[in-house]
Every structure is written in C-alpha cells, then in structure tokens.
Chains A and B, each alone.
Chain A
Amino acid sequence: MEVVLHLPAVPNVELVAAKAVETLGEAMGMDRDGIEAVSVAVVEACLNAMEHGGSSFVVRLAGEDGVSPRMRVEVEDQGRGFDPDACPPDDSTRVHGCVSKRGWGLILIRELMDDVQISSRPGLTRVRMWKELENAP
C-alpha cells in the first residue's frame, strides 16, 4: 500500500499530505493520536520542502508490515539543500524573548516520529520518517 503525491508549493498544500496520512493511517488501523502525530510531522516536512525547495515536491506514504507494523513517510524536494546537523538544538530557552521563533520543524519531526533519516545535498533533500502503529505521542 503506497501513496505518492506530487505537490506544488502553494499555500496550505501540506494539508493534502496530512489528509493522505489520515486516510492511509485509518486503512492501516493506526489510532487517532498516531495519525495526528504523523500529520503534524508531515506538515512540518512539507513546510520545509516549500521553504528550502523549489516549486514542487514529492510526498510518499507507505505501510510497512513486520513485527512492528509502521507507516513510512518520505518528503523529497529538489531545492538547495541544508545541513541537518546544523539545525538548532532542542532548547526551550529559545522560546521566551528569543531572537527567532523559527526552526522548530525538524525538532518536532524527530520528537513526534519513531525514527527519522535525513539526507540533503544541493538538488535533492529527502526526509524519511517512520511511525509505529502502536506508538501514540
């Protein structure tokens, strides 16, 4: 079971990906909390793809069987790329009175999903993430 979306970088298109997560998650038997966690993660990945990528990007969703069935989500863009290791740390002191309130996307993705792999170079950035069916936020 796989869903592939070729999405233009237009406002609120990330909700199309979130809707696909909801549909696939329900078909896989994922609970509501799990679906909502994946939805927020895919929204953040789509926003990053639109901010750093080009005029379009690709979202792939798939169910993976096994001892621990899980949903796999990939968001891929062909933008300029970035250094994943240079992303800001999870530091709550950034919140109140901080200079910038941006840059939370990858932190949220890593916290809400069970496993995350990021590869990036100029012309191809891929965020690949997994959520087990039984793991709520």
Chain B
Amino acid sequence: MNEPQINLQTAVLDDGLGLISAAGYINNEGGQAVADAASELVGGGCQSLVIDLEGTRIINSIGVSILLEIMEKIMEGAGKLAFCNLTPTIAKTFEIMGLDQYAGIFSDREAAVTSFDTDGTA
C-alpha cells in the first residue's frame, strides 16, 4: 500500500469529461503529478474532471494541499471536479481539509461520471 511512485493514467471520456486514475502515494510529488495531468486535460479543453483514487491507499497533507490548488484553478475556469473510490481514511482526510465542500465525492467511477450528466454539478 506504500508505493512511493505514483502511477497515473488519463483519458478523455464522452462529452469532454477528463479522467485521471491515480495509484500510489499522494505526497508533494504525487500531488504535483496529478496537478500536471489535470492542467494538461483542462488545457486540452476538458472543463470537468473525475479523479479516480482506486489505487491510492495513503496520502499526506502536502499532497492534498496540491489537490486543493487543482480545485481552485478548475473552479476559477467554471469547471467542476469529482473524486471517486476513496478509502474511508482518505475520504475523512478530504472532509477534514474541506475538499468535500468544493468537489463531489462518489463511491465509484460510474457514479462520478453520471453526476455530471444528471445535474451538471459534481
């Protein structure tokens, strides 16, 4: 569960929704890697993103702070962001640090993707 290197995969889904799958340790380097992937997707025209953390078991507050910066940039551009497949500890960490006030938190990828379809807000 403690892989120091983060493994990222990105894709553009239907309707221009960006998807980032992150597996590994979200520390300063892992958080920055996610931020860079998000910037690339947004720069390519994705207004909204889903970040799937199914393969991520451990994080730290520095990495989460970098994720907060992603949220701020996306929100400044009127985009939306959703997370899915969080462990209970990561979900609680996001709640403590307030990420859940600005991004949708969903149990799985399908629910996260569908949330953009149904009401346009994640």
Contact = CB atoms under 8 A, between A and B. Distances in A.
Contacts, number: 90
Interface of A: 12, 14-15, 18-19, 22, 33, 36-37, 39-40, 43-44, 47, 90, 92, 94-97, 101-102, 104-105, 107-108, 111-112, 136-137
A12 B60 CA distance: 11
A112 B92 CA distance: 8
Contact of B1 (A39, A94, A104, A105): A39
Interface stretch (B11-19, B41-49, B77-85, B98-106): B98-106
A36 B72 contact: no
Nearest to B66: A101
Contact of A96 (B58, B88, B93, B102): B102
Interface string B1-17: 11010000000000000
Interface in B62-111: 62, 64-65, 68-69, 71-72, 87-93, 96-99, 101-102
Given A14-B60, A95-B97, A37 B68 contact: no
A33 B89 contact: yes
Nearest to A15: B2
Most buried by B among A14, A97, A101: A101
Contacts of A104: 61, 64-65, 96-97
A40 B58 contact: yes
A90 to B, nearest CB: 7
Given A22-B1, A95-B99, A137 B88 contact: yes
Interface residues of B, number: 30
B87 A36 contact: yes
Nearest to B63: A43
Contacts of B88: 33, 36-37, 136-137
Nearest to B1: A22
Given A18-B2, A108-B61, A90 B96 contact: yes
Most buried by B among A37, A108, A112: A108
Given A108-B96, A136-B88, A47 B1 contact: no
A36 B1 contact: yes
B25 A108 contact: no
A132 B107 CA distance: 26
